Chain A
Amino acid sequence: TQLLEQSPQFLSIQEGENLTVYCNSSSVFSSLQWYRQEPGEGPVLLVTVVTGGEVKKLKRLTFQFGDARKDSSLHITAAQPGDTGLYLCAGVRRDTGNQFYFGTGTSLTVIP
């Protein structure tokens, strides 16, 4: 069982639709990050959330850190084909500060 579970695992939507990806854990995290990975490349950081309840916006992407610091969500408004990719949450657990954990990943396809 992975420490960070993401849902859904796969998502295929039409251009212009909205979507939400969830990242859940039973553990408390000091911070959570969201990365996006394109085929043949390594993950690239999108955002870091640090404070429980924090909301950050990056253009059409909205990221939220749960109040209890155990979960996070990524909401995309009016998805575009360029949003296609693998989305990964990741974080540093509060009680094991040096080890980095990644989520199981959500593969998003936006159809033109």
Chain B
Amino acid sequence: EAQVTQNPRYLITVTGKKLTVTCSQNMNHEYMSWYRQDPGLGLRQIYYSMNVEVTDKGDVPEGYKVSRKEKRNFPLILESPSPNQTSLYFCASSLGQGMTDTQYFGPGTRLTVL
């Protein structure tokens, strides 16, 4: 089954404790991205990757890191989480970044930083 998987689905942590949210897709997609979703703000792109070893900042990259060592995986790293990073996070992938490409989303990771 074609899908985007994220882990964990729920995470409660404390300020400053490094964490990684994993994302994997099995559709051989080139484009992957991370979003955060906050009430009234829709989804905001954090980072995106056009292909292996190619990453770029989205709208809200501060406090986040990503890497793309393999085509299928695109982990999101919070080196020192803070309470303002409490949010719902989505990973997405698409065949390319053409203007008609469909983005396929993972199920989301709800992160709470205390």
Q: Which residues of A contact B (CB under 8 A)?
A: 2, 4, 6, 9, 30-31, 33, 40-45, 48, 50, 88, 90-92, 97-105
B66 at the interface (CB under 8 A from A): no
A45 surroundings in chain B (CB, below 8 A): 102-103
Among A40, A50, A98, A105, point to the contact of B50 (Cβ < 8 A). Answer: A98
Size of chain B's interface in residues, with CB distance under 8 A?
26
CB within 8 Å for A9 and B40 given contacts A98-B48, A98-B56, A100-B33? yes
A42, B48: Cβ atoms closer than 8 Å: no
The answer to whether A101 touches B108, judged by C-beta atoms less than 8 angstroms apart, is no
Do B100 and A40 touch (CB < 8 A)? no
Please give, as numbers and ranges, the residues of chain A lying within 8 Å of B58 by CB-CB distance.
99-100
- Known interface pairs A48-B100, A99-B56; 18 further A-B residue pairs with C-beta atoms within 8 A, sorted by A's residue number: A2-B42, A6-B42, A33-B102, A40-B108, A42-B106, A45-B103, A50-B99, A88-B43, A91-B99, A97-B99, A98-B56, A99-B45, A100-B33, A100-B45, A100-B48, A100-B103, A102-B35, A103-B42
